Amino acid sequence: GDRMMSLHGPSPVTTFGPKACMLQNPHAVMHIQDPASQRLTWNKPPKSVLVIKKIQDASLLQPFKELCVFLTEQKNMIVYVESKVLADPAIAGDESFGAVIQKFCTFREDLDDISNRVDFIICLGGDGTLLYASSLFQESVPPVMAFHLGSLGFLTPFKFDTYQSQVTQIIEGNTAIILRSRLRVRVVKESREKKGIIMTNGDSEGSRKSMQYQVLNEVVVDRGPSSYLSNVDLFLDGHLITTVQGDGVIVSTPTGSTAYAVAAGASMIHPNVPAIMITPICPHSLSFRPIVVPAGVELKIMLSRDARNTAWVSFDGRKRQEICHGDSITITTSCFPVPSICFRDPVNDWFESLSQCLHWNVRKKQNYLSSEEEEF
C-alpha cells in the first residue's frame, strides 16, 4: 500500500511506554535507502538505453538484433552498445542490420564514462550481465531490466517472448522495482616499492594506494594458491570480531546470498532485507557459523599478524588481487543500490527464481496410504 516505509518495514514508533523515547541521533552514519515496495517513475521521458549482451553467445544474436531494431525504429531511443559487442562478425557482417548499427552510440568499458548518458539498461543473457552492468556504474545506477534467455537466473525475471509490451510498459513508467543494495569496498595497500626510504614530504599517506569498488553480489577473501589456511582478522565497527582461519570468507549482500554464499552454507535472504552477510568458507573452527549484521556497519578485513601467507580478494568475481600485511579491505553498505525492474513484484519474483533456479522445496510427495494398501 501507500504506507510510509522505513528501513525496517512500516515506520516504527519512537516512543516506548509513558516516559521513554528514542534519542534522535543527528550523526546517523548514512540513510540507507528504503528497500520496500517501490515503483519506478520518470521525471522526463527516457531517451537513451544501454543494451548489454553476453558476448560470444550465438543464441543471443537474434534477440539482440530484434530488440535494437525495436528500440531505435519503433521507440526512437538512442541505443548505447559496447564496442566489443559490435566487434562480433555475426553482427558487424550483417548487412540488413547495418542501418541500425549506424545509429548506435558505442563506448569502451575502460575508457568512456557513460554514467550520465544512459536512462535505463536492458540486459540480455544471465546473471553475469547484471553484475557487469553494476560494475560499469560506480555511483548512481539507471534502472535495469534483465531478460533471461535460456537459463533462468536469480536476477533476470523477464522472458523475451513478450519483450515489446514489457519494454513499452517500462518506457511509460509503470513498474515495480527492487533496490538491490551494493557494498562499497575500499582497499588500501601499503606501498612496498620503497621500503625504509622516508618520503621527502614525510607523508605516509603518499605511500599508500587506495581503490574503491561497488559490489552487487559479494567480496571474497581466500587463500589463493597457498596450501596453508588463510588467517584474516575481521573487525566490525572497529572491534575485532574473530580471526577467520580457513579457506576464506565471503561478505555478501542479500542479492549475493543466493550465489557463492548459499553454497558455503549461508541463508538465502530476500533482497529487501537491509543486511550484510559474513560467511566463512570451510572454517577451521567449526563454531564459526554464517552471520548476518545490519546494513549500516563497517567491516574491515586485514591479514592476521601471524598469517603464514597472503590472502587474495575479488569483487563480484572481478579485479582479483593480492592482500599483504598492512593492507586493509573496508566494507560497508553503499548509498548507490541497483534498481532492478520487477516482472511482477519483489516477493513473487524472488520465490519464482528460487523455484526455477534451485527447484527449491521440491521433493517427491509421499504416497497416500489407503487402509487396503498392504504392499510396502
- What residues are annotated to the active site? 127
- Which backbone phi and psi does 4 adopt, to 5 degrees? -70, 125
Radius of gyration of the chain (CA): 24
Q: Give the span between the Cα atoms of 137 and 214, in whole angstroms.
A: 8
Angle at 153 between CA 151 and CA 156, to 5 degrees: 110
| Strand extents, DSSP E, 195-238 | 208-215, 218-222, 230-236
Name the grid cell of 233.
582478522
Q: Give the span between the Cα atoms of 121 and 132, in whole angstroms.
A: 11
Strands 183-190 and 328-333: antiparallel
Task: Name beta bridge partners: 190.
Answer: 208
Nearest to 63 by CA among 87, 107, 93, 97: 97
Cβ 229 vs Cβ 223: under 8 Å: yes
Name the grid cell of 272.
529487501
